[in-house]
Structure 1
């Protein structure tokens, strides 16, 4: 396959017939890639270590071939297939044997995002243009900001959808016969690493993009903090209109300064302080826009107030920051301040994101199981100082010491769970020796949260918060962060149901501190 042939594949209407494509992985992303490519007429071989029964049944139905087995070496079937292109699911790390084999052989290596961009014109708007893309990444807050942005765009009268790492593959959205005006694409660092490999004539070029923040995460996948940062920075590549960055996180500004963007793209900042011209921020409890108006040197537009956000459980500082970022992205496509205000009135956080699962006997129980890294947990601890902190799990190669040094000393107590407990306990010993630390050594998943809740109930008093903000992944003891959060909430409600504290339970789910 010549590079000229691959370079010609920039449209759904290009000639994809006969293209040999190996798809690595058969999760929702891998299946969407295989389904798209077979519909285009490509010859597709899917390789995966194991396949869910439904996907295994559907792969031959759509006209692709399926190979299952160990992928720690390159299968003979892949070599014999001699692919023109390999499309890898995001879980395949740069040093995976199949990824290294592909690159060493000079074979084109795409992620699902590049493939989706190439075929984005399957369904066009009335003016003939495909949907605008808005790209969102960051160590934390991606999903909330993606949902917020899509909600604001819909309130502004646009057909918009949250897609990508949030759960719905972009490839499914670009093939939706209803079509969209805008796609709000959440991107993981894994997807962005693949995006950085693009070499075609028409690379992904979003209308607007943001990196919300940067802190060490997924170092075992990327190999180093620098590699992780470099992957995140690709979110700004070729941006056409707006590069939004976090003024409170200098790394995001440097990404914008270093990015190769389309001439005329604006750099717009946001944070919780008073905004300068061309920024979004907060003035006397009012969220304001000084970026998307003509007289931005002397005027500002009100978006909403912290008081209004407090009423609907959205006043935690990191959530307010996400709202400002989403508002900037929505404003870049013409959504009005009033439409943003109205959109926020009906918005609720997803489960397991600073979700208040119960209030009983004066103790508030908060599930932030989505805080799977130290940066996210730090935001939760800042929102709930003095909490009884449930921490630990699978640290993913990240050192938790800095978080404990910065926030751990404010905790009333720490309850440590997970397989990496030794590192967490040691960090408290070094940096917060005055904080009582309790270890939960429960070999069975079913018993972990019951023990956690019993300990927390002994420690917490009227007015206290018990906060599940693990700063770690969940896969050592649970099937997902959602499973971890559900088990925590169930254990809390089980204990309250026994009437131990004698208080009146309130199983609110609106979340967020005052």
Structure 2
């Protein structure tokens, strides 16, 4: 890959004042990095290949802060660049990084930049430890649960990283944090060679973003970086052997423990579920004989299997940090999931309509489908290199019908023809945002009382929508219009 990135050792000086630094990308993380670096005295140029209204508006804001912005050219390296800081979405093979490699210029990500810029003694408090979470699915929910648990323990914390709040903003905040709950994507981990978390979790592994990483092996390796240098706990999913394999391969600090979580009764050094209770056999005085009650399954919302797994992972990280059991319970009770994550929208004619627009890959969609007994499935979008045979084969017996839309709908249709040939399938050829209204109408035609109508696309949304939020909003609006009657639901 065309990249150059080196590990930054703790205690090594990292100075940006007076340096010419190029930031790749004009999104949330890129703008945050540009402003932070400028505030620290760097000369910053932001480059972005786009030149649309959104980019121009963002450029105007940065230029008012004295930052140079170059739109419509994301390939050439500005003269004199000493360091490139990339936004997560830029692929390793981008021409800009090839130019940086040719010039001997280091490329790092926004997370690596935040790690290097953490305040350090002497003269101030020690940097806030990071409790890091990655995985194919469930990262945001787990990190937000973790932050709620830490807050319930009286700690100053924040959910940051790939969750919407740039970790750089938290690291440089005037009032220091006690500990940070950090969501990390495979993109961010790829560009973060120096990151060393207090404890970290890999929730699960399934094919995703293979168009970015190039292979499942590289995707897995980038996820596994989160365990490197952990000091207290490497948390893994006992139901997903690939995550345990990453722990076994990890280079950690001596004494760091492998902690599993499981949907069933836990063994020693695991957290799990017994008689409707979340219990801990990892951070108790006698983990070989006793389990510590943490919370009830009903304290987790929604209490579906994959969300229980998220809660166990969050609890494991919190317990690794020394949080008492009551804070786990109180934090889980206080947590409310974000929109578009298994969100009940309405009940129409005896069928329940669920918005899981966040299910942007096959692994997430399967987790939603297995929670339903009889389902009308709305799916499709950008496949990102995914295959759908395993998902369809595992879900075929639950499917009442399927409505497909989006650029790569044909891939799902072909998998359905192979593994669920008797299931009625409707394909929508239109690719404007109004297609969602038509999809909801078709799903209503297929649904029967007692069914679940589930938007779990198994694909990304950018072929038709700005993001999964807009896609979920369109679904919810169409369902609510359906519930009010035909006159309200006309295009």
Check conservation: 1:303, 1:338, Cα contact below 8 A.
yes
Structure 2 counterparts to residues 445-484 of structure 1, below 5 A: 445-446=433-434, 448-484=435-471
Structure 1 residues 335 and 69: alpha-carbon distance in aligned structure 2, compared to 1, 3 A threshold: same
Looking at structure 1, the residues matched to 132 and 56 of structure 2 have their Cα atoms a distance apart, in angstroms, of 33
Q: Shift in Å at residue 103 of structure 1?
A: 2.3
Q: Shift in Å at residue 130 of structure 1?
A: 1.1
Looking at structure 2, the residues matched to 10 and 118 of structure 1 have their Cα atoms a distance apart, in angstroms, of 9
Structure 2 counterparts to residues 21-420 of structure 1, below 5 A: 21-49=21-49, 50=51, 52-71=55-74, 73-74=75-76, 78-79=77-78, 81-121=79-119, 128-195=125-192, 198=193, 203-309=194-300, 313-420=301-408
- Structure 1: gaps (5+ residues): 501-514
TM value normalised by structure 2: 0.94
* Alignment partner, residue 496 of structure 1: 483
Looking at structure 1, the residues matched to 390 and 101 of structure 2 have their Cα atoms a distance apart, in angstroms, of 37
Looking at structure 2, the residues matched to 291 and 424 of structure 1 have their Cα atoms a distance apart, in angstroms, of 41
Check conservation: 2:45, 2:67, Cα contact below 8 A.
yes
**Superposed CA offset, 1:298-323 (max 9, x none):** 111111222444xxx42100000000
**Superposed CA offset, 1:78-132 (max 9, x none):** 35x221111111111011111122123321111111110111117x899821101
Report the 3-state secondary structure (helix = DSSP H, G, I; strand = E; otherwise coil) of the residue aligned with 1:113: helix
Looking at structure 2, the residues matched to 55 and 125 of structure 1 have their Cα atoms a distance apart, in angstroms, of 37
Check conservation: 2:401, 2:424, Cα contact below 8 A.
yes
Check conservation: 2:372, 2:398, Cα contact below 8 A.
no
- Structure 2: gaps (5+ residues): none
Structure 1 residues 233 and 8: alpha-carbon distance in aligned structure 2, compared to 1, 3 A threshold: closer
**Superposed CA offset, 1:145-192 (max 9, x none):** 010000100001110100010001111111111210111111111111
Structure 1 residues 405 and 14: alpha-carbon distance in aligned structure 2, compared to 1, 3 A threshold: closer
Looking at structure 1, the residues matched to 233 and 57 of structure 2 have their Cα atoms a distance apart, in angstroms, of 41
Structure 1 residues 292 and 6: alpha-carbon distance in aligned structure 2, compared to 1, 3 A threshold: closer
Structure 1 residues 305 and 225: alpha-carbon distance in aligned structure 2, compared to 1, 3 A threshold: same
Q: Shift in Å at residue 343 of structure 1?
A: 1.5
Looking at structure 2, the residues matched to 209 and 443 of structure 1 have their Cα atoms a distance apart, in angstroms, of 40
Looking at structure 2, the residues matched to 377 and 7 of structure 1 have their Cα atoms a distance apart, in angstroms, of 38
Looking at structure 2, the residues matched to 96 and 54 of structure 1 have their Cα atoms a distance apart, in angstroms, of 24
Q: Shift in Å at residue 55 of structure 1?
A: 2.8
Check conservation: 1:134, 1:184, Cα contact below 8 A.
yes
Q: Which moved more, 1:61-70 or 1:413-422?
A: 61-70
How many corresponding residue pairs?
A: 481
Looking at structure 2, the residues matched to 453 and 392 of structure 1 have their Cα atoms a distance apart, in angstroms, of 13
Check conservation: 1:287, 1:302, Cα contact below 8 A.
yes
